[in-house]
Structure 1
Amino acid sequence: MGQSQADIIYECLAEGGITRMMGVYQSVEGVGMIGSVRSARPYYLELALGHDALYIHAGGSEDAYAKIRSWDVDHFDAVRGPYQGRSPDSNLMWRDADRRKNNGLEHSVVTTGSAIETYLPEEVRREHKEDYRYPQQFTDDGTPAAGEKAVTVTVPFSNYKTGVFTYDEESRTYLVEEYGQPYIDGNTGEQVGVTNVIILQTACSATGDSLAHITVDLTSGGEGWYACGGKIIPIHWSKADRSSSFVYTTEDGEPLVLGRGKSYVNIIPLKSEVIFA
């Protein structure tokens, strides 16, 4: 819920071949219910730090908790923090009764844009840090001029999860599908659509712990793809350190200019083969 209003959706692998999404909102004003809110992992912290963001979560791996402390992440936790209420709109987050009954306890934590605006502590900053700069450039039409046709882009994360993006001429967006079905925003009942589809390939490795946690390398850089306007091109990506933003360039080293609109960033294993037609 609320994903269609996110400015950026990141999707990465979690345990067992499943994935999780992280929504980035420049503003939560007017955003309805958001959820479910899930637990932290170190690489999601790196994504949040790259946007100088306030990170909202419900629990986390022990490694994530350790890095929240050592990396000084601005975070708000519904499990080991004072941010979970007993009823709707009573705190920053709460457990939705219907979701708890039908989807399970771990999928039941939700929030809303208005709850975030109301319950963030007064001392929490509402503006970016003074030295923060977001490097991404935008234009009204980000269709890559030399791109190959890409009406459908298929993005495999694992044997369990594959994302599909189908270009819609009328809305000039890629409509998102997962598990063979449209990816629907529960607030609006409409399929999620994005202007930009970005695919980053990187090393995703098992940590070897008993909970099957993984690591996702977000700082070594690598290859990827960019789709917009029904066309796709190969790109390079980099992230200087855990607190830096992603930098995207074309194959000839020029800065990648995105279409003005919402973006979906797929972070997939090196061995995954992207298919487009």
Structure 2
Amino acid sequence: MKNGKKKIRLALALVFVLVVAAVVGYFIFIRKNEGTPLGQVTQAEPIKFYSQLDGTVVAEAGQVPRVVGVMVDNHPDARPQQAGLSKASIVYEALAEGGITRYLAIFTASSSVEKVGPVRSARPYYLDWIREYGESPYMHCGGSPEALSLISRLGLFSLNEFVYSDYYWRDNKYYVPHNLFTNSSLWEKVLAKQGAQRPTKEWSGWLFEKTPSTSTSSVSAATIRYDSYYKVGWKYDGKQYVRTINGVGHLDAGAPITADTIIIQEVGTKVIDDVGRKELDTIGAGDLRVLKHGTMVRGIWKKESVTGRTKFFDQAGQEIPLAAGHIWVEVVPVKTPVEITS
């Protein structure tokens, strides 16, 4: 009799434990799925893939993006009709002659861009940057003797307007040479004809952050004095950096030019002829500043070979993760005055 009562007590205790466990499990489930409509089961976050060009989200993983580089005029007479810079994933700015800079605008070949230009001539150091992106079309109108010689000797994927005029047009509302333009429809035609013979080659991307990093170095603006008559400004508006030239907003087809990452890269620079053409030390190492999310990181850049990727490292030697989106690389001579505003 006693054994029977003991078994009953044990059975009741076991039932009690199971009931308590079920109730606790139910409330844990409810807390985890709080806010989920009745009858729906929460799903895992979808897997995201990121572009090795600019860190933005893309549809598929493992794609090596084909890019197109376009030389863009920055003479004062060209600025009112500038177009396409705000659509570029990456823009390199460096001095040409006469204290005036020129741009190399990098686009994904699949991007839709209605108008890019005015298109101008090649310089050797821009070739060092376009070659970081594998076998990529380089659109330009003529070039310095050294640049044209390098393009020919190296067999680069050059789309010189002197040879490929069908892929450009002149807007007669503006004066030559500040009136030559191209667009994505035209470079797509080139790739449809020549792309198979010049397939995309592997190239290395930069490191991009998946979430905004934090820094104690708060920076609201930077001003770069390329020349006594030419000053570039970037001001953080809480989301992006807004660009100015000589204190006036820099517009692209009427819209402000903005960026998510600004890289200020110091390079050795010297004048090599009477025209004022320059030689830039793009291979080696030097000082840099990286601006992102209203902060600044100091460090060094390194490029080990002509086709090697320029990489950016902090003072501890770690590669700096860039903010995804539009990136401007401001290539400046060593000791160029740069004013940083906290």
* Same structural fold, with TM-score higher than 0.5 when normalized by the shorter chain: yes
Cα distance in 2 for residues equivalent to 1:17 and 1:142:
36
Deviation at 1:112, TM superposition (A): 0.9
Q: Would the aligned equivalents of 2:116 and 2:182 in 1 still touch at CA under 8 Å?
A: yes
Bigger relative CO (Cα 8 Å, ≥ 6 apart):
1
Aligned counterpart in structure 1 of residue 328 of structure 2, from 251, 258, 264: 264
Match of 1:29 in 2: 111
Deviation at 1:160, TM superposition (A): 2.5
Q: Does 1:191 align with 2:191?
A: no
Match of 1:47 in 2: 129
Q: Would the aligned equivalents of 2:263 and 2:329 in 1 still touch at CA under 8 Å?
A: yes
Deviation at 1:118, TM superposition (A): 2.2
Aligned counterpart in structure 1 of residue 195 of structure 2, from 120, 124, 128: 124
Whichever residue aligns with residue 54 of structure 1, its letter is P
Between stretches 63-72 and 261-270, larger displacement belongs to 63-72
Deviations 1:110-131 (Å, cap 9, x if unpaired)?
Answer: 00111211244612357521xx
Q: How does 1:127-142 map to 2 (within 5 A)?
A: 128-129=200-201, 132-142=202-212
Return the index of the structure with the highest Cα Rg: 2
Q: Does 1:175 align with 2:238?
A: no
Cα distance in 2 for residues equivalent to 1:141 and 1:180:
32
| Other structure's SS at 1:16 match | coil
Whichever residue aligns with residue 220 of structure 2, its letter is V
Deviations 1:172-227 (Å, cap 9, x if unpaired)?
Answer: 110111122111111xx2101110000000111000x2321111110021111000
Match of 2:8 in 1: none
Match of 2:149 in 1: 66
Cα distance in 2 for residues equivalent to 1:165 and 1:147:
19
Cα distance in 1 for residues equivalent to 2:184 and 2:227:
32
Cα distance in 1 for residues equivalent to 2:337 and 2:217:
16
Q: How many equivalent residue pairs?
A: 257
Cα distance in 1 for residues equivalent to 2:248 and 2:157:
35
Q: Would the aligned equivalents of 1:200 and 1:223 in 2 still touch at CA under 8 Å?
A: yes
| Other structure's SS at 1:258 match | coil
Match of 2:170 in 1: 95
RMSD over aligned Cα atoms? 1.5
Match of 1:157 in 2: 226
Cα 1:75–1:147 shift into 2, 3 Å? farther
| Other structure's SS at 1:215 match | strand
Deviation at 1:166, TM superposition (A): 0.5
Runs of 5+ unmatched residues, structure 1: 85-90
Match of 1:57 in 2: 140
Whichever residue aligns with residue 123 of structure 2, its letter is R
Match of 1:106 in 2: 177
Normalized per residue, which structure has more strand?
1
Match of 1:245 in 2: 309
